[in-house]
Amino acid sequence: MSNNCTFCDTSINQDKFIRSANKNTSYFECDRCGKYSVNDLVLNQIDFNKAPNSKAILSYWIQTNQNKENPPYITTELVKNILKDIKLPDVGEQVHNLILYLGNTSNYPGEILDITLNNIIAKVGSKDKGSLLFIFDYIIQNNLVEIQIFGKDSLRNKNVSTFKCNLSVTGWGKFGKFNKPSLSGKIVFMAMKYDNVELEEIYSENIKDAVKQTGFDIQLLKDVLRAGSIDD
């Protein structure tokens, strides 16, 4: 016996579903959305047909909130707030999310990944499988991904739900760019000799505060460039 996910309709095995009748909630571990609990009232009180893509937005929101201590608990109030504030990522962001996913999932460059489309729709932030295939098609046509079965033919007209692929060398280049910590914003960097106690004291006691008063944040270059990119 299985139940279906409230938001994406993926079928959920019995061992990944807990019904708490006295609390009026159900707990799901969905391959697409992730783990969440939902209050019974949500389905009665929210008209999902009223807002376009509403279920896809909730699925995406749940997936992006998986790293918290507890799985999200979805109430009517929360759904209203999410649908008011959150949109699905635009095409550029979805390409970005997909490249990051493929890079982060690979243990080493060239590793061939087993892709199950349904499991990454919400991670990328696509509306549905067809919309995710549109993004996949783009990165294949732009040689960012090598796909094992279909060559460079369009995926979109094919009725596929799984396939194998890997990031190309060009794709890894993009991944490297996307994966860098963002250094935007009002941050200045200070390069100084390492392991000089006197200098470090001056930095932490005086310079940091002085710079902060100007509206900038200061960071030591050694704290930012741990990966050694200055030498690479």
Binding site for Zn ion (CB under 5 A): 5, 8, 10, 30, 32-33
The CA-atom distances, in angstroms, between 143 and each of 117, 134, 157, 168 are 19, 14, 19, 7
- Closest-CA residue to 161 (of 209, 198, 128): 128
User: Between residues 8 and 102, which has the closer beta carbon with respect to Zn ion?
Assistant: 8
Minimum separation from the CB atom of position 131 to Zn ion (A): 16
Minimum separation from the CB atom of position 58 to Zn ion (A): 9
Phi, psi of 13 (to 5 degrees): -65, 155
User: Between residues 28 and 175, which has the closer beta carbon with respect to Zn ion?
Assistant: 28
Beta strands in the chain (DSSP E): 2-4, 11-13, 17-20, 25-30, 34-39, 73-74, 113-116, 145-147, 162-167, 187-190, 217-220
Minimum separation from the CB atom of position 115 to Zn ion (A): 18
User: Between residues 8 and 140, which has the closer beta carbon with respect to Zn ion?
Assistant: 8
Number of Cβ within a 10 Å radius of residue 134: 16
Q: In the sheet that 17-20 helps form, which strands lie side by side, from edge to edge?
A: 17-20, 25-30, 34-39, 73-74
Minimum separation from the CB atom of position 212 to Zn ion (A): 44
User: Between residues 122 and 144, which has the closer beta carbon with respect to Zn ion?
Assistant: 122
User: Between residues 66 and 75, which has the closer beta carbon with respect to Zn ion?
Assistant: 66
Tokens of 119: 């499991």
The CA distance from 232 to 227, in Å, is 9
The CA distance from 70 to 228, in Å, is 35
Quick check: 44 and 79 in contact, CB under 8 A?
Answer: no
User: Between residues 37 and 219, which has the closer beta carbon with respect to Zn ion?
Assistant: 37
Minimum separation from the CB atom of position 42 to Zn ion (A): 14
Minimum separation from the CB atom of position 64 to Zn ion (A): 13
Task: Tell me if residue 77 falls in helix, strand or coil.
Answer: helix
